[in-house]
Amino acid sequence: VWTQQITVYDQENFQGKRLEFTSACQNIMECSVDNIRSLKVECGAWAGYEHSSFCGQQFVLERGEYPHWESWSGSNAYHIERMMSFRPICSANHKESKMVLFERENFIGRQWEINDDYPSLQAMGWSNNEIGSMQVQSGAWVCYQFPGYRGYQYIMECDRHGGEYKHYREWGSHAQSFQVQSLRRIQQ
Amino acid sequence: VWTQQITVYDQENFQGKRLEFTSACQNIMECSVDNIRSLKVECGAWAGYEHSSFCGQQFVLERGEYPHWESWSGSNAYHIERMMSFRPICSANHKESKMVLFERENFIGRQWEINDDYPSLQAMGWSNNEIGSMQVQSGAWVCYQFPGYRGYQYIMECDRHGGEYKHYREWGSHAQSFQVQSLRRIQQ
């Protein structure tokens, strides 16, 4: 039994060349596919990336069917239709996920320990539309630029960077600001 | 103290003509604005609609800042840049939200009572990528076409339709299929 499995297709609607993976793929072009245009996550949670070697925009991919690019991307402000690499996400037991948010970079300022999903951080009492830095203590999380889980996605994991994300430059090569307005745990 | 408040602008990035609302707006053109291009939800949860009179695509708007159309729409498959009407959503205490999912239309087939958020219904044991019908017993919910809260949104409330949504034709004028792969409670 595989704990992670993803099937990708080089055409929309699960058509064209079909490839199955149970571990990371650093560059889909090495599998003689020029791009991924649809996919099915059969098991586990995965991180998809705009560019090879896990660079560029990030997309959380949970179990289910994604018939075209728009079904996994939440940011059309910066319109790209590419997914060139992907890898499994190692998330904790959902109930045990824990993270600390800091008002300012380098883990300073007001702090807030969270262990739940927040479609609107401001509705729950966070004072503005930014987070300065984050410390993931358990599990894997996805942060979003806008409320309601929209806009750029930033995947944060306790077993990467030692769980420490002290400036937006460490959130991913696509991050351009501290703006985060919703976040949630990633489930297997 | 208002329990609901939304500020809308007729230009992107909170520019241009500015209007504040504490109750529903059936047609923004009656306020001499041709379209909404950015908004801030100051308090409460709101439902935005593509057309006047609460028709067309639906968007959940929770507290926070939405600087342009892409920040509230999750479906660019069907690309519209309009929001012509909006209204407050009356949601229950978050912990008390309850809904029953049915495998087939008219409340028949396999059923499942839920009271939590599900970024992937299939990961939690639902057998396919569709829901036949739904009964909202408490609170307000938003269902999404794709996993991870992406694609078309369908807002379901216990105090509308008597909480009964027996066919996708009752989910909204934009619904074209039974496809639902994630859903969550709406918080105030």
In chain A, what are the domain boundaries?
5-88, 98-185
pLDDT at position B30: 96
**From A68, which residue of chain B is nearest by alpha-carbon distance?**
B77
Query: CA-to-CA distance for B149 and B118, rounded, in angstroms?
Result: 9
Closest CA to B91 of B167, B153, B142: B142
Report CB contact under 8 Å: A64, B129.
Answer: yes
Is the pLDDT assigned to residue B161 strictly greater than 90?
no
* Predicted pLDDT at B1: 47
- How far is the CA of A110 from the CAs of A125, A127, A156, B30, B91, in angstroms? 12, 10, 20, 44, 30
Distance from CA of B49 to the nearest CA of A (A): 16
Q: Return all residues near A162 (Cβ < 8 A) that are at least 6 apart.
A: none
Domains A5-88 and A98-185 are alike in CATH topology: yes
* CB-CB contact of B141 with B114 (8 Å): no
Rg (CA), chain B: 16
Q: What local confidence, expressed as pLDDT, does residue A79 receive? A: 63
Query: CATH homologous superfamily of domain A5-88?
Result: Crystallins (2.60.20.10)
CATH fold, domain A98-185, is: Gamma-B Crystallin; domain 1 (2.60.20)
pLDDT in tens, chain A (188 residues): 458 999 999 999 999 999 999 999 999 999 999 999 999 999 999 999 999 999 999 999 999 999 998 888 865 555 667 899 999 998 777 788 999 999 999 999 999 999 999 999 999 899 899 999 999 999 999 999 999 999 999 999 998 889 999 999 999 888 999 999 999 999 87
CB within 8 A of A131, min separation 6: which ones?
Answer: A101, A102, A103, A121, A143, A178, A180
Q: What is the ipTM of this complex?
A: 0.91
Task: Enumerate the residues of chain A whose CB falls inside 8 A of the CB of residue B184.
Answer: 117, 119
Burial B120-154 (b: 16+ CB within 10 A, else e): bbbbeebeebebbbbbbebbbbbbbbbbbbbbbbb
* Shortest distance, CA B4 to any CA of chain A (angstroms): 12
Q: Which tens digits make up the pLDDT trace of B26-58?
A: 999 999 999 999 999 999 999 999 999 999 999
Rounded to whole angstroms, how far apart are CA atoms A157 and A165? 9
Across the interface, do B60 and A129 touch by the CB < 8 Å criterion? no
Judge contact between A182 and A152, C-beta under 8 A: no
**CA A12, A153, B143, B8 torsion-angle sign:** negative
Helix, strand or coil for residue A22? coil
- Residue B185 pLDDT > 50, yes or no? yes
Kindly state the average pLDDT of the residues B9-34. 96
| Least Cα separation, residue B52 to chain A (angstroms) | 23
The predicted structure's pLDDT at residue A1: 47
Residue B83, amino acid: M
Token pair recorded at residue B10: 């007729």
CB contact under 8 A, A70 and B65: no
Q: CA-CA distance, B142 to B136, in Å (whole number)? A: 11
HSE-CB of A81 using CA atoms within 13 angstroms: 12
- CA gap B53, B27 in Å, rounded: 6
The contacts of residue A51 (CB under 8 Å, 6+ apart) are A82, A84, A85
Which residues of B touch chain A, with CB atoms under 8 Å apart? Answer: 41, 60-66, 68, 70-77, 117, 119-123, 129, 145-151, 181-182, 184, 186-188
Q: Which two tokens stand for residue B134?
A: 């739904």
Residue range B93-135, pLDDT digits in tens: 778 899 999 999 999 999 999 999 999 999 989 989 999 999 9
Residue B53: partners with Cβ closer than 8 Å, 6 or more residues away:
B26, B27, B85
What confidence tens digit (pLDDT) does each residue in B57-98 have?
A: 999 999 999 999 888 886 555 566 789 999 999 877 778 899
B72/A184 Cα distance (integer angstroms): 17
SS3 B170: helix
* Mean pLDDT confidence for B16-34: 96
